[in-house]
């Protein structure tokens, strides 16, 4: 369902119920770009309330449809109009019951999808790493970390207690970039023992001035919890350029 269509339906329900005139009906069905002029604070607040309702319903229905939960726009409009007239077909107890049932069904579907996505991510990561390990130039450590040398160097390597400064770019195995110090235009510094274990292990292998590419299994990254734009159980790829090492001493 398109956002514009659903928003139109919700706003149309408001206009048709509140105004009831033929002119209002024509305006409501014509376009989502309302001709109303917001001149005072009451109009602005009322418009904001209506817009927030429309956006909430749009997002909710799109979420439900994405999870294969049935929606009924006609019933939504009828309920909205009846609510404005205070002429509901349900008791308040029934409204609360079915609203809670809708929320429960949505949470259950979201939980199931998250579990399915997490399981799929594990299998996808395993398949990717198995194939990647066979490529020329890729080394696999005892922990399962994989790496290749993009640019070699002869400098010293950091200890686990050191603070390092790096440039890096991180992607998922499908190529989606989720973070990059290059995009921000400045490198980042951190204690080596305060990051994911794949970085802690991998950067200790790097000489100062080198650039490595790391292929990090999910258990050496963020695991089941994920992180921001990184889904749960994701295998990660990092290009890391080691710029500076500061000893803990």
Q: Catalytic residue positions?
A: 168, 178-179, 196, 222, 238
* C-beta of residue 233 within 8 angstroms of C-beta of residue 121: yes
Residue 245 token pair: 């090492």
**Selection from 202, 97, 185, 72 nearest residue 143 by Cα:** 202
| 42-46 LR contacts (CB < 8 Å, sep 24+) | none
Residue 21 host element (H or E): none
**Selection from 97, 67, 68, 81 nearest residue 9 by Cα:** 81
* C-beta of residue 193 within 8 angstroms of C-beta of residue 187: no
* C-beta of residue 50 within 8 angstroms of C-beta of residue 36: no
């Amino acid at each position: 369902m398109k956002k514009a269509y659903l928003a139109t339906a919700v706003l149309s329900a408001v206009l048709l119920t509140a105004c009831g005139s033929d002119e209002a009906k024509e305006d409501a069905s014509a376009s989502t770009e309302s001709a109303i002029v917001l001149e005072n604070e009451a109009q602005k607040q009322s418009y904001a309330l209506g817009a927030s309702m429309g956006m909430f319903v749009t997002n909710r229905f799109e979420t439900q449809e994405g999870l294969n939960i049935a929606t009924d726009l006609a019933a939504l409009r009828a309920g909205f109009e009846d609510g404005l007239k205070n002429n509901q077909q349900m008791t308040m107890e029934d409204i609360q019951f079915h609203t809670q049932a809708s929320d429960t069904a949505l949470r259950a579907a979201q939980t199931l999808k998250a579990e399915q996505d997490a399981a799929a991510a594990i299998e996808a990561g395993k398949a990717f790493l198995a194939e990647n390990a066979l490529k020329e130039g890729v080394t696999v450590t005892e922990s399962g970390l994989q790496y290749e040398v993009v640019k070699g160097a002869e400098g010293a390597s950091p200890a686990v207690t050191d603070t390092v400064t790096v440039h890096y770019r991180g992607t998922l195995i499908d190529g989606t970039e989720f973070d990059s110090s290059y995009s921000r235009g400045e490198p980042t510094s951190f204690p080596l023992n305060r990051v994911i274990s794949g970085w802690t292990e991998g950067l200790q292998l790097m000489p100062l001035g080198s650039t490595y590419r790391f292929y990090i299994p999910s258990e050496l990254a963020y695991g089941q919890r994920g992180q921001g734009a990184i889904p749960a159980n994701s295998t990660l790829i990092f290009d890391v350029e080691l710029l500076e090492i500061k000893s803990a001493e």
